[in-house]
Amino acid sequence: MVNNYLGFPDGIGGAELLELGRRQVERFGVDVRADRVHAAASEGDGFSIDVAGERVTCRYLVLASNKRTDLATALGLVLGGFGNKFVTVDSAGLTAVPDCYAVGRITGLPSQAAISAGDGARVAIGIVQRIRGGYYVDHDV
């Protein structure tokens, strides 16, 4: 039961919170997959991802895998922070690997769902601003 996520005054079950989140991002065209990413590597101007036997490429990579840092270290990132368990990022969420970002708990932020969600939003807007140039406001009208 999650009682400290803003917007759910009576609390919400963890599984239900995830399901609502999935439905919400799918409404905006996100392709949500439950498959494990087995490998990630820099390739050309971006990254190559090995997921469920399929090779997917992307321009930017965002690591959001909480305590799982195997992909980060495979990319060449050196862990730091408390107990050397976290990925170091700059103020934009960028790691030492160009165009590779990290968000949420994997960066050593306090373990609260709202903090990781907010960090993901902050970094995502930063990537949009980088691509489009200039200040970007994501508000519905």
Ligand X SMILES: Cc1cc2nc3c(=O)[nH]c(=O)nc-3n(C[C@H](O)[C@H](O)[C@H](O)COP(=O)(O)OP(=O)(O)OC[C@H]3O[C@@H](n4cnc5c(N)ncnc54)[C@H](O)[C@@H]3O)c2cc1C
Written as six digits, the tokens of 4 are: 């400290």
**Distance between CA atoms of residues 98 and 60, nearest Å:** 9
Closest-by-Cβ residue to ligand X is 104
Q: Does 72 bind ligand X (CB under 6 A)?
A: no
Within 10 angstroms of residue 99's Cβ, the number of other Cβ atoms is 17
* Helices (H), ranges, 88-133: 113-132
Q: Does 111 bind ligand X (CB under 6 A)?
A: yes
Question: Least distance from C-beta 129 to ligand X, angstroms?
Answer: 21
Scanning 72-80, 82-90, 101-109, 125-133 for contacts with ligand X by CB under 6 A, the matching segment is 101-109
Q: Does 48 bind ligand X (CB under 6 A)?
A: no
State the sign of the Cα–Cα–Cα–Cα dihedral 56, 57, 63, 68.
positive
Instruction: Candidates 17, 37, 79, 125: give the one binding ligand X (CB under 6 A).
Output: 37
Q: Does 105 bind ligand X (CB under 6 A)?
A: yes
Q: Does 66 bind ligand X (CB under 6 A)?
A: yes
DSSP 95: -
In the chain, the amino acid numbered 135 is: Y
Q: Does 64 bind ligand X (CB under 6 A)?
A: yes
Residue with structure tokens 């997921």?
A: 51
Q: Which residues bind ligand X (CB under 6 A)?
A: 2, 4, 36-37, 64-66, 68, 71, 104-106, 111-114, 116
